[in-house]
Protein backbone atom coordinates (compact mmCIF):
# COMPACT_ATOMS: atom_id res chain seq x y z
CA UNK A 1 0.00 0.00 0.00
CA UNK A 2 0.96 3.66 -1.15
CA UNK A 3 -1.20 6.08 -2.99
CA UNK A 4 -1.08 9.44 -4.74
CA UNK A 5 -3.89 10.96 -2.71
CA UNK A 6 -2.61 9.73 0.59
CA UNK A 7 1.01 10.72 0.09
CA UNK A 8 2.43 7.86 -1.99
CA UNK A 9 5.90 8.10 -0.60
CA UNK A 10 4.97 8.50 3.05
CA UNK A 11 7.15 6.43 5.31
CA UNK A 12 5.86 3.41 7.19
CA UNK A 13 7.14 2.20 10.56
CA UNK A 14 9.54 -0.55 9.52
CA UNK A 15 9.78 -3.02 12.39
CA UNK A 16 12.21 -5.89 12.20
CA UNK A 17 10.17 -8.43 14.08
CA UNK A 18 10.47 -12.17 14.47
CA UNK A 19 11.24 -13.96 11.27
CA UNK A 20 12.80 -16.93 9.62
CA UNK A 21 16.42 -17.74 10.12
CA UNK A 22 18.75 -19.38 12.56
CA UNK A 23 19.06 -17.79 15.98
CA UNK A 24 22.65 -16.76 16.63
CA UNK A 25 24.08 -18.24 19.79
CA UNK A 26 25.09 -15.70 22.45
CA UNK A 27 28.69 -14.64 22.10
CA UNK A 28 29.37 -17.04 19.24
CA UNK A 29 29.22 -14.59 16.36
CA UNK A 30 32.06 -12.25 17.10
CA UNK A 31 35.29 -12.11 19.02
CA UNK A 32 36.34 -8.49 18.50
CA UNK A 33 34.91 -5.04 17.89
CA UNK A 34 32.73 -2.56 19.74
CA UNK A 35 30.52 -4.17 22.36
CA UNK A 36 26.80 -3.51 21.92
CA UNK A 37 23.39 -4.81 22.99
CA UNK A 38 20.34 -5.61 20.88
CA UNK A 39 17.17 -3.74 21.91
CA UNK A 40 14.15 -5.12 20.04
CA UNK A 41 10.66 -6.24 21.01
CA UNK A 42 11.18 -9.87 20.01
CA UNK A 43 13.92 -10.91 17.58
CA UNK A 44 16.02 -8.89 15.14
CA UNK A 45 16.72 -10.19 11.67
CA UNK A 46 20.36 -10.25 10.57
CA UNK A 47 20.77 -9.36 6.89
CA UNK A 48 23.30 -10.28 4.22
CA UNK A 49 23.43 -6.62 3.13
CA UNK A 50 22.48 -3.28 4.75
CA UNK A 51 18.88 -3.34 3.54
CA UNK A 52 15.50 -4.65 4.69
CA UNK A 53 15.15 -6.33 1.31
CA UNK A 54 18.39 -8.29 1.65
CA UNK A 55 18.44 -12.00 2.44
CA UNK A 56 17.80 -12.91 6.08
CA UNK A 57 20.96 -14.54 7.48
CA UNK A 58 19.89 -15.25 11.05
CA UNK A 59 18.31 -13.56 14.06
CA UNK A 60 19.35 -11.98 17.36
CA UNK A 61 17.20 -11.87 20.46
CA UNK A 62 16.40 -8.89 22.66
CA UNK A 63 19.21 -8.16 25.13
CA UNK A 64 21.78 -10.24 23.27
CA UNK A 65 25.35 -8.90 23.36
CA UNK A 66 27.17 -8.46 20.05
CA UNK A 67 30.47 -7.12 18.73
CA UNK A 68 30.30 -4.60 15.89
CA UNK A 69 33.33 -4.17 13.62
CA UNK A 70 32.14 -1.06 11.75
CA UNK A 71 29.07 0.79 10.41
CA UNK A 72 27.95 1.50 6.87
CA UNK A 73 25.19 3.62 5.34
CA UNK A 74 22.21 1.67 4.00
CA UNK A 75 18.43 1.73 4.05
CA UNK A 76 16.80 3.99 6.63
CA UNK A 77 15.04 2.14 9.44
CA UNK A 78 12.81 3.38 12.25
CA UNK A 79 13.63 1.09 15.11
CA UNK A 80 13.07 0.80 18.85
CA UNK A 81 16.20 2.84 19.69
CA UNK A 82 16.40 5.39 16.84
CA UNK A 83 15.72 6.18 13.18
CA UNK A 84 18.92 5.84 11.18
CA UNK A 85 20.49 4.87 7.86
CA UNK A 86 23.42 3.21 9.66
CA UNK A 87 23.85 -0.55 9.62
CA UNK A 88 26.33 -2.35 11.85
CA UNK A 89 28.58 -4.95 10.26
CA UNK A 90 29.32 -8.03 12.32
CA UNK A 91 32.62 -9.91 12.13
CA UNK A 92 31.26 -12.47 9.67
CA UNK A 93 30.11 -9.77 7.23
CA UNK A 94 26.41 -9.79 8.09
CA UNK A 95 24.47 -6.67 9.05
CA UNK A 96 21.96 -5.44 11.64
CA UNK A 97 20.27 -2.06 11.62
CA UNK A 98 21.77 0.36 14.14
CA UNK A 99 18.16 1.38 14.87
CA UNK A 100 18.03 -1.57 17.29
CA UNK A 101 21.53 -1.38 18.77
CA UNK A 102 22.63 0.25 22.04
CA UNK A 103 26.31 0.95 22.72
CA UNK A 104 28.47 3.50 24.50
CA UNK A 105 31.45 2.79 22.23
CA UNK A 106 32.30 4.64 19.04
CA UNK A 107 31.77 2.44 16.00
CA UNK A 108 34.23 3.11 13.14
CA UNK A 109 33.07 3.63 9.57
CA UNK A 110 33.52 0.61 7.31
CA UNK A 111 36.24 1.13 4.74
CA UNK A 112 34.37 -0.67 1.98
CA UNK A 113 31.62 1.14 0.09
CA UNK A 114 27.98 0.25 0.31
CA UNK A 115 26.79 -2.36 -2.19
CA UNK A 116 25.91 -0.94 -5.60
CA UNK A 117 22.16 -0.85 -6.30
CA UNK A 118 20.77 -3.51 -8.57
CA UNK A 119 20.15 -2.49 -12.21
CA UNK A 120 16.71 -1.07 -12.79
CA UNK A 121 14.24 -3.00 -14.95
CA UNK A 122 13.50 -1.68 -18.42
CA UNK A 123 10.66 0.86 -18.20
CA UNK A 124 7.37 -0.22 -19.74
CA UNK A 125 6.31 1.62 -22.90
CA UNK A 126 3.75 4.42 -22.49
CA UNK A 127 0.21 3.35 -23.37
CA UNK A 128 -2.76 5.31 -24.66
CA UNK A 129 -5.82 5.28 -22.35
CA UNK A 130 -7.50 2.66 -24.54
CA UNK A 131 -4.38 0.48 -24.54
CA UNK A 132 -3.96 0.87 -20.78
CA UNK A 133 -7.54 -0.21 -20.07
CA UNK A 134 -7.29 -3.17 -22.45
CA UNK A 135 -4.07 -4.30 -20.75
CA UNK A 136 -5.58 -3.80 -17.29
CA UNK A 137 -8.78 -5.79 -17.71
CA UNK A 138 -7.42 -9.38 -17.38
CA UNK A 139 -5.54 -8.74 -14.14
CA UNK A 140 -8.37 -6.70 -12.65
CA UNK A 141 -10.94 -9.38 -13.43
CA UNK A 142 -8.65 -12.07 -12.01
CA UNK A 143 -8.37 -9.95 -8.87
CA UNK A 144 -12.18 -9.94 -8.65
CA UNK A 145 -12.36 -13.71 -9.00
CA UNK A 146 -9.68 -14.28 -6.37
CA UNK A 147 -10.41 -11.55 -3.85
CA UNK A 148 -13.74 -9.89 -4.65
CA UNK A 149 -12.51 -6.40 -5.55
CA UNK A 150 -14.62 -4.98 -8.42
CA UNK A 151 -12.54 -4.81 -11.61
CA UNK A 152 -13.85 -1.32 -12.34
CA UNK A 153 -12.47 -0.11 -8.99
CA UNK A 154 -9.07 -1.70 -9.53
CA UNK A 155 -8.66 -0.23 -13.01
CA UNK A 156 -9.84 3.25 -11.97
CA UNK A 157 -7.53 3.32 -8.94
CA UNK A 158 -4.60 2.27 -11.11
CA UNK A 159 -5.36 5.05 -13.60
CA UNK A 160 -5.58 7.65 -10.83
CA UNK A 161 -2.59 6.53 -8.79
CA UNK A 162 -0.16 5.67 -11.58
CA UNK A 163 -1.13 8.44 -14.02
CA UNK A 164 -2.09 5.92 -16.70
CA UNK A 165 1.04 3.89 -15.96
CA UNK A 166 3.45 6.81 -16.36
CA UNK A 167 4.64 7.03 -12.74
CA UNK A 168 8.12 5.79 -11.93
CA UNK A 169 6.80 2.95 -9.76
CA UNK A 170 4.48 1.67 -12.48
CA UNK A 171 6.67 2.19 -15.55
CA UNK A 172 9.79 0.67 -13.96
CA UNK A 173 8.48 -1.78 -11.36
CA UNK A 174 4.93 -2.44 -12.64
CA UNK A 175 3.66 -1.26 -9.25
CA UNK A 176 0.42 0.61 -10.02
CA UNK A 177 -0.74 1.14 -6.42
CA UNK A 178 2.44 2.00 -4.52
CA UNK A 179 2.24 -1.10 -2.34
CA UNK A 180 5.29 -1.32 -0.09
CA UNK A 181 7.36 -4.18 1.21
CA UNK A 182 6.93 -4.74 4.93
CA UNK A 183 10.04 -5.93 6.75
CA UNK A 184 11.39 -7.34 3.51
CA UNK A 185 8.20 -9.30 2.80
CA UNK A 186 6.58 -8.77 -0.60
CA UNK A 187 3.68 -11.21 -0.61
CA UNK A 188 2.59 -13.89 -3.09
CA UNK A 189 2.38 -11.80 -6.28
CA UNK A 190 5.48 -9.56 -6.28
CA UNK A 191 8.98 -10.53 -7.39
CA UNK A 192 10.92 -8.47 -4.86
CA UNK A 193 11.49 -4.97 -3.50
CA UNK A 194 13.00 -1.76 -4.91
CA UNK A 195 14.31 0.82 -2.45
CA UNK A 196 13.65 4.45 -3.34
CA UNK A 197 15.13 7.49 -1.61
CA UNK A 198 12.31 9.79 -0.51
CA UNK A 199 11.66 12.95 1.50
CA UNK A 200 9.15 12.79 4.34
CA UNK A 201 7.66 15.48 6.54
CA UNK A 202 6.21 15.07 10.02
CA UNK A 203 3.10 16.80 11.36
CA UNK A 204 5.21 19.73 12.56
CA UNK A 205 6.42 20.33 9.00
CA UNK A 206 9.96 19.07 9.62
CA UNK A 207 11.23 17.20 6.56
CA UNK A 208 13.98 14.62 6.35
CA UNK A 209 15.48 12.18 3.86
CA UNK A 210 14.67 8.51 4.19
CA UNK A 211 14.03 5.50 1.98
CA UNK A 212 11.25 3.01 1.43
CA UNK A 213 11.05 -0.35 -0.26
CA UNK A 214 8.25 -0.82 -2.80
CA UNK A 215 7.13 -4.10 -4.33
CA UNK A 216 8.18 -5.00 -7.86
CA UNK A 217 6.13 -7.10 -10.27
CA UNK A 218 6.72 -9.11 -13.41
CA UNK A 219 3.57 -7.75 -15.03
CA UNK A 220 0.63 -5.38 -14.69
CA UNK A 221 -1.65 -8.34 -13.99
CA UNK A 222 0.43 -9.38 -10.98
CA UNK A 223 0.26 -5.85 -9.56
CA UNK A 224 -3.51 -5.77 -10.03
CA UNK A 225 -3.99 -9.14 -8.33
CA UNK A 226 -1.80 -7.99 -5.43
CA UNK A 227 -4.06 -4.96 -5.07
CA UNK A 228 -6.94 -7.36 -4.38
CA UNK A 229 -4.80 -9.45 -2.04
CA UNK A 230 -3.71 -6.33 -0.15
CA UNK A 231 -7.28 -5.09 0.43
CA UNK A 232 -8.68 -8.53 1.27
CA UNK A 233 -5.96 -9.31 3.82
CA UNK A 234 -6.07 -5.99 5.70
CA UNK A 235 -8.80 -6.08 8.34
CA UNK A 236 -9.38 -2.34 8.14
CA UNK A 237 -10.92 -2.78 4.68
CA UNK A 238 -13.25 -5.63 5.68
CA UNK A 239 -16.40 -3.41 5.57
CA UNK A 240 -15.82 -2.80 1.85
CA UNK A 241 -16.32 -6.47 1.08
CA UNK A 242 -20.00 -6.16 1.98
CA UNK A 243 -20.24 -4.28 -1.34
CA UNK A 244 -18.30 -6.49 -3.75
CA UNK A 245 -21.08 -6.13 -6.35
CA UNK A 246 -21.46 -2.38 -5.96
CA UNK A 247 -18.31 -0.64 -7.18
CA UNK A 248 -19.27 2.84 -5.95
CA UNK A 249 -20.06 1.71 -2.41
CA UNK A 250 -16.95 -0.48 -2.38
CA UNK A 251 -14.53 2.36 -3.14
CA UNK A 252 -16.26 4.68 -0.65
CA UNK A 253 -15.87 2.05 2.10
CA UNK A 254 -12.19 1.65 1.18
CA UNK A 255 -11.65 5.41 1.42
CA UNK A 256 -13.42 5.66 4.76
CA UNK A 257 -11.21 2.87 6.10
CA UNK A 258 -8.18 5.10 5.57
CA UNK A 259 -6.92 4.18 2.11
CA UNK A 260 -6.88 7.85 1.11
CA UNK A 261 -6.93 11.10 3.08
CA UNK A 262 -8.35 13.10 0.16
CA UNK A 263 -12.09 13.62 0.89
CA UNK A 264 -12.66 13.75 -2.88
CA UNK A 265 -10.94 10.41 -3.53
CA UNK A 266 -14.19 8.50 -4.05
CA UNK A 267 -15.48 11.11 -6.50
CA UNK A 268 -12.22 11.00 -8.46
CA UNK A 269 -12.33 7.22 -8.78
CA UNK A 270 -16.03 7.04 -9.66
CA UNK A 271 -15.66 9.81 -12.24
CA UNK A 272 -12.95 7.75 -13.96
CA UNK A 273 -15.18 4.67 -13.85
CA UNK A 274 -18.06 6.61 -15.44
CA UNK A 275 -16.01 8.49 -18.03
CA UNK A 276 -14.34 5.34 -19.36
CA UNK A 277 -17.32 3.00 -18.78
CA UNK A 278 -15.25 0.72 -16.57
CA UNK A 279 -18.35 -0.82 -15.00
CA UNK A 280 -18.67 -3.00 -18.11
CA UNK A 281 -15.69 -5.03 -16.88
CA UNK A 282 -17.39 -6.05 -13.63
CA UNK A 283 -17.91 -9.73 -14.36
CA UNK A 284 -20.92 -10.34 -12.11
CA UNK A 285 -23.10 -8.38 -14.55
Give me the active site residues, please: 200, 226
In this structure, is the dihedral angle defined by the CA atoms of residues 238, 258, 254 and 3, taken in order, positive or negative? negative
In this structure, is the dihedral angle defined by the CA atoms of residues 252, 167, 139 and 213, taken in order, positive or negative? negative
Distance CA 63, CA 13 (A): 22
Three-class secondary structure of residue 3 per DSSP: coil
Question: Is residue 49 a contact partner of residue 74, using CB atoms and an 8 Å limit?
Answer: yes
Distance CA 253, CA 82 (A): 36
Q: Dump strand ranges (E) for 62-216.
A: 65-78, 83-90, 95-97, 101-102, 192-201, 207-216
Distance CA 25, CA 265 (A): 51
End-to-end CA distance of the chain: 29
**C-alpha closest to that of 182 among 78, 60, 257:** 78
Question: Is residue 195 a contact partner of residue 172, using CB atoms and an 8 Å limit?
Answer: no
Amino acid sequence: MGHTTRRLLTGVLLVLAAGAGTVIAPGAAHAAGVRATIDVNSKLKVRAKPSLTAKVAGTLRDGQRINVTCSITGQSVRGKVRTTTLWDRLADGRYVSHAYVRTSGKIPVCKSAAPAPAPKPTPAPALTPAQFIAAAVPGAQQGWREYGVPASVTIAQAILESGWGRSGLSSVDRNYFGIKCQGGSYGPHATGCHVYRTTECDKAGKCFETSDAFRTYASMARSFRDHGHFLKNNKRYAPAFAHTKNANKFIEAVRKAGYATDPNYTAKVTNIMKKHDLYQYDTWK
